[in-house]
Amino acid sequence: MPAGALPDDVAVRVDGVSKVFRLPHEQVHTLKERALHPMRRTRVDRLHALQDVSFDVARGEFFGIVGRNGSGKSTLMKCLAGIYRADAGDMWLRGRMSPFIELGVGFNPDLTARDNVLINAVMLGVTPTEARERYDSIIAFAELEEFQDLKLKNYSSGMQVRLAFSVMVHVDADLLLIDEVLAVGDAAFQQKCHDVLNRARDEGRTILLVTHDMGQVERFCDRALLLERGKLVALGDSRTVARRYTQLNFPTGVDLQTFEELAAGTEGDGGAQIVDAWAQTGDGRRTQSLEQGGSCALLMRVRFMTPSEEPVFGFTLTDEQHRRVLVVTTEWAGRPTGRHEAGDVVNVAVSFDNWFAPGRYFLSPQVGHPGGARRLMALREDHTSVLVTGSRTGGGVVDIPHEFFWGAVTADPANA
């Protein structure tokens, strides 16, 4: 089916696509080995990277592709980009496509940035004249004016990412294929990319994004699909798919660890043992996913190994950029905790309304001696993670509900 035969509202159609890789157990490396063993057969395994995958992407849709490592995400993108040929099934794409799939693909390391930009832009469908006209804008967006005549093999990975992304967004493609290589850029460049992608969506372009960041999926994507071992296991709105991904990566039915296993992962002087820590919804359900705006609680279960008078319990939450977004302790809250004997097991909880921005957060519970000094009995750094889901994305680490008010100024305060 040619692209013109697609329904008007469909930009990408994938129908029953499968891809198999042959993995040999033994390889013949020399002519001598071939001569000595001419009849030896090489045993191979078959890796089913994609198995009967089917979906449609609407025109102008921001579509996420998620899954664990080895699930087939990048293989699917490379099939769409024409780098791999599918072994079964069909794919149709409407309009000019611009892929941003793998660092360095389409670039020649022995050529300068100037030459690579002009060649790559033409390969992506613009005319040589258009490529020359857009060259200055491409280099300026990538912030590489001082290095444009340097050979690409002397570029850092971050510089190559900026250059490749800049070329991609300047060729006016109808369809953008973006793999998780965006993670290579620094924070400022990532924000710049996000701004460009938002503009591209507003202009009606279709974007396919591969990522492990469920915060990005919920923030940017209209819909998403989830791959697991090459099979499509979820397809729908981005929030539902993000939750399914979280369930795959962080199942709630975790086996209890032995005391020795816990001790191996605990910091502190051993006066207490953190047996477990978790997040809980407002109605008391243990969870790995919290809805933004709802009430929630952080909990830990502590076993005391020695007697302790007024121990200090605390929780720290950090985001994916390792920034502390919440630090609370019973000492700062002025809450007495009493005396505990060796062998006592207690549950400690702190509750609050969750107004954190969508994304993943890591929980570190701790138990300390009283007195304000940082003398820990137990600390479990990044013991577990929790995904915050929601639609409020103000750009900060919290999205507190707020209202704006305004009114006319009747007199200039400076001249009053």
Four-CA torsion 79, 85, 90, 96, nearest 10 degrees: 50
pLDDT value for 263: 39
Domain topology for 1-95+216-249: Rossmann fold (3.40.50)
Which residues, given as ranges, of the chain have pLDDT below 70?
1-5, 25-43, 102-105, 181-187, 250-266, 372-374, 391-395, 411-416
pTM above 0.85, yes or no: no
- Reading the block at residue 285, the tokens are 């359900």
DSSP state of 398: B
- Reading the block at residue 41, the tokens are 């057969």
- Reading the block at residue 386, the tokens are 């929790």
In a 13 Å sphere around the CA of 86, the CA atoms on its Cβ side amount to: 23
Neighbours of 338 (CB within 10 A): 10
C-alpha distance from residue 321 to each of 68, 187, 213, 318, 360 (Å): 20, 9, 12, 8, 10
Could you write out the DSSP letters of every residue in 34-103? HHH-TTPPPPEEEEEEEEEEEEEEETT-EEEEEESTTSSHHHHHHHHHTSS--SEEEEEE-S-EEEE-ST
- Asked whether 282 and 332 are in contact (CB, 8 A), the reply is no
pLDDT in tens, 127-162: 899 999 999 999 998 888 889 889 988 988 888 888
User: For the chain, which residues make up each domain, given as ranges?
Assistant: 1-95+216-249, 259-389
Shortest CA distance to 291 belongs to which of 394, 398, 363, 389? 389
pLDDT in tens, 7-53: 888 999 999 999 999 877 666 566 666 666 666 666 677 888 999 99
Domain topology for 259-389: Coagulation Factor XIII; Chain A, domain 1 (2.70.50)
pLDDT in tens, 57-89: 999 999 999 998 889 999 999 999 888 999 999
Give me the sheet containing 286-287, strands edge to edge.
286-287, 272-281, 295-304, 345-353
pLDDT value for 1: 47
pLDDT value for 54: 95
Determine the angle formed by the axes of helices 128-142 and 157-169, rounding to 10 degrees: 130
CA–CA distance, 291 with 287 (Å, rounded to integer): 10
